[in-house]
Amino acid sequence: MGYTAAVAGASGYAGGELLRILNGHPDIDIGTVTAGGSAGSALGQHQPHLTPLADRVIAETTARNLAQHDIVFLALPQGQSAALAEELDGDTLVVDCGADFRLSNPQEWETYYGTPHAGTWPYGLPELPGARAQLGDTRRIAVPGCHVTAVTLALFPGLAEGILEPEDIVAVGVTGTSGAGKSPKPHLLGSETMGSAAPYGVGGTHRHNPEIRQNLTTAAGQPVSLSFTPVLAPMPRGILATCTARFRPEATPSQLRSAYQRHYSDESFVHLLPEGTWPATAMTVGANTAAVQVTVDTSAERAVAVAALDNLTKGTAGAAVQSANLALGLPETTGLPAVGVAP
């Protein structure tokens, strides 16, 4: 049985990546594509790499245009998904790539986003324990933030098995400029970013902070203390999350690695690298994969866990399709690229 999918936000980076993946999906046909300011223009003007879809005319993003599809992917700015989702039929699979439904704590949402909390949907990170069961029985999915996915995959096996301490977790996420979206911004001009790396969202102000804490608290079974700093790097796409946490003194480095092997040995898209090999963003470009490595800094009594992924693929659009596959009862890997592009 084939399914039809509408993509809202088709002119943006996340929308373009969704369309790239869906174009090769054997069980999903692309239906209506929508956007805001670019409605009425040809998709090829905004996504010239999508040559098979270049002549598609972009429609206005309304519930009426998105209806009558089996799946609706929302690749919209924060705050725009909730109202649309309310107007869509409950039998339609709605996959939100934005932040509207990720957080379970309304107070955290209001603190970081400044608007009323719209609710919480099943979480689109299948590798988390229990996530696949929830995703297999839902018509609403909230895709994680890209930094969140990287930091969560880097740390959760050690926290889940009680080898890492939940206090004093530090994470630095180096990311490419596509994570900021496609709208013109002076600080993202080539002349500003080339040859320069700069932190942003410093001091716990980045909106992915509460979502990372939410995931790590669930893994640890108790509240975590987190310091997260994102860094903008002069590259178009990719995230490299370097995370450290205190190592329980009674544990051994081999126990730590064994925990990661147990959690990731059967995963199609998360790869624990051989010892001594460290993740790099170039390993994952264009692929729905995450590369992970972990070791112990014995002098500091801390574990060091590193994860690399493509923020547009495993960090957004790939996770959306992976989760949709589960909700539709399809094999989880269907239509998803598992091999990156190099150099």
How far is CA 82 from its chain centroid? 19
Question: What letters, b where the CB count within 10 A reaches 16 and e where it falls short, cover 211-236?
Answer: bbbbbbebbbeeebebebbbbbbebe
Quote the Cα angle for 22-327-62, to 5°. 60
Which class for 80: exposed (0-12), middle (13-18), buried (19 or more C-beta within 10 A)? middle
How far is CA 59 from its chain centroid? 26
Nearest to 169 by CA among 281, 300, 302, 267: 302
Q: Three-state SS for 81?
A: helix
Catalytic residue among 146, 151, 256, 290: 146
Are the C-beta atoms of 122 and 183 separated by less than 8 Å?
A: no
Cβ-based neighbours of 64, under 8 Å, separated by 6 or more? none
CB atoms within 10 A of CB 332: 18
Q: In what order do the strands lie in the sheet with 290-297?
A: 198-199, 226-232, 169-175, 239-246, 302-309, 290-297, 270-272
As given in the structure block, the two tokens for residue 66 are: 């998105």
Catalytic annotation on 146? Answer: yes
Residues labelled as active-site residues:
146
